[in-house]
Amino acid sequence: MSLLIGDVAPDFEAETTQGPIHFHEWAGDDWVVFFSHPADFTPVCTTELGYTAKLKDEFAKRGAKALVISVDSVEDHKGWIRDIEETQNTSVQFPIIADPKREVATLYNMIHPNADPKVTVRAVYVIDPNKKIRASIIYPPSAGRNFDEILRLIDSLQLTDGHKVATPVNWQDGEDVIIVPSLTDPEEIKKLFPKGHTEVKPYLRYTPQPNK
């Protein structure tokens, strides 16, 4: 199954380190960062989960939470969590799904046979409160992810959902944004962006971030 941006994230039930979950019910009205790990007790994954745990408050500020999946068992996950907390000096407070039959991983296209038919790739799905997939990123098993970039992505999605803007290359929260090209009425532009704007080209117009 191929999941695309705009698709409804498939619902499922699964066992996790925090008990059974029904995904859509568990997600509630939050944004969800749902990401996979090839296996437990692996070095890159250990650093990723440790860093994600340290971002708990940053996720919470954005109304977001993390959900992790690995094909190993709940008991293996719990043992791995102890290692993560010991080596990364943090507390893992998000659920890790046990997926030994690879059912959820297959549902979310996290098994790429040409990469490795036995393990998941490093997939990331950003899912909004309407259960829509808003972004996806796929890494090979060997490459660790940049979770600061995932937070930046959520900032961009939430900003552009609420205002008629787009975010330029390497944008960071608080920097100038771009007025969307579909907005052409000068009076509407003045109303929506009272701080003014700079027109570089008719299609390239910068304005201060409107929610700051």
- Ordered by start, the domain boundaries in the chain are 13-145, 163-207
pLDDT tens digits, residue range 126-143?
999 999 999 999 988 888
Q: Which residues are catalytic?
A: 45
Domain 13-145 - what CATH class? alpha beta
List, for the chain, all residue ranges whose pLDDT scores fall below the cut of 70.
1, 113-119
Burial 23-44 (b: 16+ CB within 10 A, else e): bbebbeebbbbbbbbbebeeeb
Residues 6+ apart with CB under 8 A from 140: 115, 121, 122
Tokens linked to 79: 């043992």
Domain 163-207 - what CATH class? alpha beta
pTM over 0.85: yes
pLDDT tens digits, residue range 89-124?
999 999 999 999 999 999 998 887 666 656 677 899
β-sheet bridge partners, residue 15: 20, 98
Cβ-count burial of 163 within 10 angstroms (0-12 exposed, 13-18 middle, 19+ buried)?
middle
Burial 131-158 (b: 16+ CB within 10 A, else e): eebbbbeebebeeebebeebbbbbbbbb
